[in-house]
Amino acid sequence: MKTLALHILDIAQNSITAKAKNIFIDIEEDTRENRYVIRVTDDGSGMPEETLRRVTDPYYTSRTTRKVGMGIPLLKQHAEMAGGYVSISSEEGKGTRVEAVFEHGHVDRQATGDIAGVIVLLIGGNPEIRFRYVHRYNGNDFSLDTREVKEILEGVPVNDPEVLKYLREMIRENLSGIGAL
Amino acid sequence: MTKIKSLADLKKKKEDLQSKIALREKSDTPEGRVLVKVAMATCGIASGSKEVMEYMVDELDKRNIDAIVTQTGCMGYCYAEPTIEVKLPDQEPVVYGYVDTRKADEIIEKYIRNQELVDGIIPVNYQTIEKDKEE
């Protein structure tokens, strides 16, 4: 994973696999507090405590197609490299929350990357899931909720290529408006 | 300074899109559409599947090929990521490995447009690692 946006794409795939209907992606950047926080919250199936204890182990995976699961371990490594940590809480039947904290100004903190592209990819690939994306930067914020988008579109599919292209540009412009790009 | 795009502007675009979509639905049934699945697990993402999926969505639309592009998990071909599965109407799905945007272009032009097989197919294999996860 070269960027934080790709980590978000990866972590959100776990939520999708857990059959989440709502996925909330929050990014909080605070340069004054030197904090960069990523939070992915879902209402998927959640995990029992036993599984939760093993998710940071690269030799644990829920898949049968391969024997390793690098998603969470890589995120943890990258967070710790940048003076931060990953914390995960989960409740069976309720959902899971993954939080990764970084030092904003740490030299080893990965760049945000193409977060607009990632959000749009998640929306396009999973039109039935509601995504809410909130990005805060030093007190300014931008948010996008696919529930609102769908209301506006009135039946035009949210994964129509033109809609996706528009959303991508909209996110980019707004992020640069709040100073996050 | 130009105005920042907002959802209100999307509303204005909606009517345009509605007529375009109505036109498309008349000409095609869902079964008649090309289905592309991009493997989007950790292994795929780390190898560039995001760029491949974006390319597929944009280019199929640009080239007027009516297709649905979605995501799937890891198919066990981590060594060959990014992988994509392409299903043409009334045909068995085919999985391609080591797909970058150049390969994707070749797949669109040769396989999707002309049903010509392209190098890089991963042979069908029904085996997975041992099933010790019986619950």
Cα A180 to Cα A170: distance, rounded to the nearest angstrom: 14
Instruction: Identify the structural domains of chain A with CATH numbers, from first to last.
Output: 4-178 (3.30.565.10)
Of A65, A163, A173, the CB nearest to B17: A163
Task: Report yes or no on B48 lying in a domain.
Answer: yes
Give pLDDT tens digits for A98-134.
999 999 999 999 999 999 999 999 999 999 999 999 9
Of the residues B45, B77, B78, the best mutation for testing chain A's interface (the one with the most A CB atoms within 10 Å of its CB) is: B45
How large is the average pLDDT for residues B14-36? 76
Q: Which value does ipTM take for this structure?
A: 0.87
Rounded to the nearest angstrom, the minimum Cα separation between B91 and chain A is: 22
Task: Report yes or no on B105 lying in a domain.
Answer: yes
How large is the average pLDDT for residues B117-127? 81
How many domains is chain B built from? 1
Cα A150 to Cα A158: distance, rounded to the nearest angstrom: 6
Residues in chain A where the model's pLDDT stays below 50: none
> How confident is the prediction for chain A on average, in pLDDT?
94
Nearest-by-CA chain A residue for B36? A125
Give pLDDT tens digits for B69-89.
999 988 889 999 999 999 999
* The residue type at B16: D
Element (H, E) at B37: strand B34-39
Evaluate if residue B19 carries a pLDDT over 60: yes
- Is B102's Cβ below 8 Å from some Cβ in A? no
Rounded to the nearest angstrom, the minimum Cα separation between A35 and chain B is: 25
Element (H, E) at A36: strand A35-42
Task: Report yes or no on B19 lying in a domain.
Answer: no
Q: Could you tell me which of A166, A77, A174, A105 has the C-alpha nearest to residue A133?
A: A174
Which runs of consecutive H residues, i.e. helices, occur in B1-135? 7-27, 42-47, 49-62, 101-106, 113-114
Nearest-by-CA chain B residue for A165? B58
Here the CATH number for the domain that contains residue B81 is 3.40.30.10
- Is A94's Cβ below 8 Å from some Cβ in B? no
- Owning domain of residue B71: 29-114
- Grade residue B29 by pLDDT with cuts at 50, 70 and 90: low
